[in-house]
Amino acid sequence: MAYLNVSDVTLSFGGLKALSHVDMKIEPGLITSIIGPNGAGKTSMLNCISGFYHPTQGDIHYKEKKLTHASPHQVSSMGIARAFQNLELFSGLSVLDNLLLARHQNLKYSFLHAVFFFGKASRVEAENRGYVESVIDFMELEPYRKSLVGNLSYGVQKKVEVARALTLAPDILLLDEPMAGMNQEEKEDIVRFVMDIQKERNITVVLVEHDLGVVMDISDQIYVLDFGEVIGSGTPEEIASNPKVIEAYIGED
């Protein structure tokens, strides 16, 4: 059985089928991309995995554990982190506090420790601050550490979004269009980060992306969705020569 196993997942909203009978196997240590035209169900798929939607039919298993009906905070505590497509940051807080919030599950001290802020609370906070700093270092966010997230530029906010998901110390990182709306330089930056995340931190990456060039370059495995169905899967070479995929993207000639 695969690491993260999506089997026969169907998601319908009334009569509309966002996903129908989707099967996916995500292998550890690889970059798996999900591509497809607009409205193909890519984000719905991520929402199903991260617990924001629950499949109408079918199951999702992670390391033999069933997470079909788990809520987002349960999924994230199992080690699956998620970065959002539209920025969902805590805009009234600094970059540092945004990342510290992602350490919520690791800050293990009681309420009384917190109120008096002695001993354990102070120590645990400092330790986790150390971890947060390592992520800030990794994502090159040092200049923005203390600035309010709401005041930062779009490109930096996207980076904070990825950094926040990374601060959860996940085994699997779900990235929802991390490069949308960025210029070439910023895109290359993010691509470098995604590859570093996989290689240096040994995190399995699931990437939803529109930029086919990027996807073909960095993915180990690709799933193509169209109208909620998987129309092709395999290595980038296999996908590039798959007639169904070409038809979905370019149309019949």
* Cβ pair 82, 48 in contact under 8 A: no
Name which position in 57, 71, 151, 183 contacts other proteins (CB under 8 A): 71
* Cβ pair 9, 21 in contact under 8 A: yes
Q: Inter-axis angle of helices 154-167 and 184-201, to 10 degrees?
A: 10
Minimum Å gap between C-beta 13 and other proteins is 18
Name which position in 4, 9, 70, 81 contacts other proteins (CB under 8 A): 81
Residue 99 or 224 with smaller CB distance to other proteins = 99
By CB under 8 A, is residue 142 in contact with other proteins?
no
Residue 80 or 230 with smaller CB distance to other proteins = 80
Residue 122 or 147 with smaller CB distance to other proteins = 122
By CB under 8 A, is residue 122 in contact with other proteins?
yes
Name which position in 84, 144, 193, 223 contacts other proteins (CB under 8 A): 84
Q: How many alpha carbons fall within 13 Å on the CB side of residue 149?
A: 20
The residue range among 101-109, 196-204, 215-223, 224-232 that interacts with other proteins, by the rule CB under 8 A, is 101-109
Three-class SS of residue 156? helix
User: What x-and-dash track marks residues 147-186 binding other proteins by CB under 8 A?
Assistant: -----------------x---x------------------
# chain residues binding other proteins, by CB under 8 A: 40
Closest CA to 152 of 211, 219, 93: 93
Q: Greatest CA span in the chain, whole angstroms?
A: 71
* Cβ pair 78, 67 in contact under 8 A: yes
Name which position in 44, 76, 198, 204 contacts other proteins (CB under 8 A): 76
Sign of the four-CA dihedral 164, 170, 172, 8: negative
3-state helix, strand, coil in the chain (%, to 5): 45, 25, 30
By CB under 8 A, is residue 109 in contact with other proteins?
yes
Q: Which amino acid, 19?
A: L
Minimum Å gap between C-beta 75 and other proteins is 8
Minimum Å gap between C-beta 244 and other proteins is 33
Closest CA to 198 of 159, 170, 176: 170
Minimum Å gap between C-beta 96 and other proteins is 10
Q: What is the DSSP letter of 147?
A: S
Q: What are phi and psi of 246, to 5 degrees?
A: -60, -40
User: What x-and-dash track marks residues 19-38 binding other proteins by CB under 8 A?
Assistant: --------------------
Taken as a whole, the chain contains a residue count of: 253
Chain residues in the site for other proteins (CB under 8 A): 50, 52, 71-73, 76-77, 81-82, 84, 88-93, 97, 100-105, 107, 109, 111, 113-117, 121-122, 125-126, 129-130, 133, 164, 168
